[in-house]
Structure 1
């Protein structure tokens, strides 16, 4: 399942990250911005989260080095300039089918749990993104539980289990 979403994300339209890729409607920048937003939701950017973000983007788009740095920078810049998440979620909702949207939520949980902890702001961010891209509560929780189980030191949860 994880490989399917990475493959799908890799095939999304848009050029290599750079000046033109920073457009709001570039699905790769939208994905990078949402992953960045999930990482930064608790206000603490840990190295392990940062490395996991870069790893996922590298795997998803087959980019490394300066291309990866440009995609990460475009995602960070887009997130920092955004007034809400809708600009990004609407792009992904148009480009991803339902299974791929569920898998994308799993990627977001991978970022959130990279540090082994789930903060309530991270949980809330994932809830909002899932709602906006049309992933129901059951699937969001299932993805959270699957990722938490795969990380033996994971702590935290939410009241919607």
Structure 2
């Protein structure tokens, strides 16, 4: 009886509302996009300006929500140990098309300053691998981003 009570209490304390789950997913995506922005260790104005729009379009949220996410993701990013903790959440919830749109947003951010650093390229490729996207999808999204410049 006591064991069942403990299980019940643990289940109740670990229950996550759908809103919290959606927020965690958005936060994971925002953090991955921030990784691209900070990858070359140069905070470029064009990348910073484009980030809220990328979040708005990718996650279908308002600009205000995107700016709040950026602030929160900036704090979380500093404490992260790997990209896996963010991509695992996205893999569970995003469709293939949503993953591709996230990857496209990453490429667009990387090219926002007019050049692609090797660190931006590495982050994006690592994320694509962790999101189980094919190499052809990676290249396709890169080509689309290059055409949209």
Q: Kindly report which structure 2 residues correspond to 1:1-161, keeping only aligned pairs within 5 A, or say none.
A: 13-15=18-20, 21=23, 26-59=24-57, 60-65=59-64, 67-151=65-149
User: For 2:47 and 2:70, how far apart are their aligned partners in 1?
Assistant: 13
Q: How big is the alpha-carbon RMSD for the aligned residues of Structure 1 and Structure 2?
A: 1.9
Aligned length: 131
**Ranges in structure 1 where 5+ consecutive residues have no aligned partner:** 1-12, 152-161
Q: Rg bigger for which structure?
A: 2
Residue 138 of structure 1, CA deviation: 0.9
TM-score by length of 2: 0.80
| Structure 2 segments unaligned to the other structure (5+ residues) | 1-17
Q: Evaluate the alpha carbon distance shift between residue 137 and residue 91 of structure 1 in structure 2; reply closer, same or farther with a 3 A threshold.
A: same
TM-score (norm 1): 0.74
More helix by share: 2
Divergent runs of 4+, >6 A: none
User: Residue deviations 1:21-54, cap 9 Å, x none?
Assistant: 5xxxx10000100000011111111111001101
